[in-house]
Amino acid sequence: MQPKEIAPERAALLVIITIAVAHPELDKLNSVCTTVNLAMERARYGPQVAGHFGLNLPVYLHMTSPLRRYPDLVNQRILHAVLDREPPPYTKDELEAMAAHINTEEDQMRDAKRVHFLAGYQEPIRRTIAQGEQASSERPFAQLESGVFHSILKMAAEEQRLSPAIAQEFFHRLDEGRLSPHDIYTLVFRFPTRGEEWDRVKQAAMNWLEQQQHAASLYLMGQQQYNWEAPHYEVTTTGKDHQRVFQARASTVINGQCYTSSLHQAPQKDRAKYAALAEILSDIAIGKGSATPTVSQKQFLEAESLLAFSEPQDAPTAPTPATSNEKGRLLELAQAHRWSKPVFQESERIGPPHAPTFTIEATLIIDGSTYAATGTGTTKSQAEHEAARRLRGLLPTMEEKRPMVLAEVTTRAVSILHEMAQKQEIASVSSTYQQSGPSNEPTFLCTCVVIGLDGRETVTTGTGKTKKAAAQHAAEQAIAVLFPLTDEADEEEKDGDEQYH
């Protein structure tokens, strides 16, 4: 399961979850669930090696009962072939075809379930609405749980039928702080609604949004559902140190309409940005925006069309377009190798405020060495992906890495080999054991087989009084073959031996 490009960082998600669990009285669990669901891509099958964002694993597959799921049967056949040292039972094209078919079937089955359960869920919601509208109490919906009331809001927006009782409960809960960003988004942005009562609801929701600083969450939902373009910010500062004030302006293009906020000031940069973004959301809600694309946007669309129909040699100076997930690829690579987290920083912005060109520098520190690359684009996101793509091409290969420290090898040889397999630096590692001698004082012989990415086998053996010791000995021999000591390392080892003696 992979995160979306718009997903917050894992550390930020962890903070949100920790706060919600530690302070249940804040009633934020529904909001947390919504955020997590928005951040996650739908799980897909495929032949590519990919990690699991939620479990924080660089490599992941599931393999339970082959009687239950066909993908489990496929995985077990592949595993048996590896253990028996037989050719793979499937080609990559066959795996891709099977994965595409299974994904399609999964989508259809999931959609059918959703329609089935939704039909069964809507009827009680309709009864609840009817009973509330007929009740004589002042707030007939006051005691409903937040999830049930959200369903009522969703039905009202979808059917464009906002009764006085529902509207009254909405305003009460808004004042009491009992509504989540998901409620606001569903009522204001998810469905097209028109009318005086709806305008009053939208205005109250936008006033609430300016006070609560949930603009980023709502905009994230719009990116997820409608593919809204990532907002662009112009941020400047005035004053010094504790008197510093941040000024922010936000702009974006949605369905060909340009939205630009006024300048907002705040003592914190994020608060200034959120205020600017809240104004953008307010304009989107009431349909206020310029429908005429700017010149730079027209030029960008024309250039994109030309690139689609041109051969590469027709535009030799054009940068190679980065794929939509280059930043995610770089993050996964850094995670798998346990490198530091890559840092993206804006280094330059040129052009008019409504049509800037961004230059982003991406840096990554590996074993004390800093690797850096820059990318440009008409949006920050585009520039970040281009920088990530270029940086990946500069990162060291396995052969360029520094020799392992001898002390680390002698204490963690088995773990090192398995980590290398997990990081795809070798194809696989396996061990077999033979026992000899009396049962009360056995001797174990471990045979370690390492298969490189080029298919070459490295076979080493080791002995010990326990399986663990034998495996460690065999793994040390394998690492010695894979990473022979350089002259410099050899001299260091000799010096250490002389000092020891």
The pLDDT tens digits of the residues spanning 52-86 come to 777 777 788 888 777 888 999 999 999 999 999 99
pLDDT band at 215 (very low <50, low <70, confident <90, very high): confident
pLDDT of residue 310 exceeding 50: no
**Residue pointed to by tokens 């280059």:** 326
pLDDT of residue 290: 54
Taking the whole predicted model, whether its pTM rises above 0.85 is answered as: no
pLDDT band at 484 (very low <50, low <70, confident <90, very high): low
Domain 326-400 and domain 406-500 have a common topology: yes
pLDDT band at 39 (very low <50, low <70, confident <90, very high): low
Residues 320-324 have a mean pLDDT of 41
Extract the tokens encoding 461. Answer: 């053996």
- Spatial distance between the Cα atoms of 279 and 145, rounded to a whole number of angstroms: 30
pLDDT of residue 5: 56
Strand partners, 247: 236, 265
pLDDT of residue 3: 65
Instruction: Name which of 358, 380, 12, 384 is nearest 231 in CA terms.
Output: 380
pLDDT of residue 149: 92
pLDDT band at 243 (very low <50, low <70, confident <90, very high): confident
- Which has the minimum average pLDDT: 85-94, 115-124, 282-291, 488-497? 488-497
Sign of torsion over alpha carbons 451, 452, 458, 462: negative
pLDDT of residue 486: 42
pLDDT of residue 314: 35
Residue with more model confidence, 146 or 242: 146
pLDDT of residue 409 exceeding 70: no
- For the structural domain made of 326-400, what CATH number should be given? 3.30.160.20
pLDDT of residue 342 exceeding 80: yes
Residue with more model confidence, 328 or 371: 371
Extract the tokens encoding 78. Answer: 């592949």
CATH class of 406-500: alpha beta
pLDDT of residue 411: 65
Residues 237-261 have a mean pLDDT of 84
- Which has the minimum average pLDDT: 13-22, 71-80, 380-389? 13-22
pLDDT of residue 205 exceeding 60: yes
pLDDT of residue 228: 86
Residues 471-483 have a mean pLDDT of 82
Residue with more model confidence, 404 or 67: 67
- Which has the minimum average pLDDT: 10-24, 74-88, 192-206, 460-474? 10-24
pLDDT of residue 98 exceeding 50: yes
Of all residues in the chain, the percent with pLDDT exceeding 90 is 10
CA angle in degrees (0–180, nearest 5) for 152-156-160: 175
- Spatial distance between the Cα atoms of 250 and 235, rounded to a whole number of angstroms: 9
Residues 436-442 have a mean pLDDT of 83
Question: Where are any strands of DSSP class E within 290-436?
Answer: 343-350, 357-366, 369-377, 428-436
pLDDT of residue 1: 60
**Residue pointed to by tokens 């949006």:** 379
Strand order of the β-sheet with 357-366 is 343-350, 357-366, 369-377
Strand partners, 440: none
- Spatial distance between the Cα atoms of 433 and 446, rounded to a whole number of angstroms: 5
Domain spans, the chain: 326-400, 406-500
Residue with more model confidence, 88 or 479: 88
* Mean pLDDT across the chain: 77
pLDDT of residue 89 exceeding 90: yes
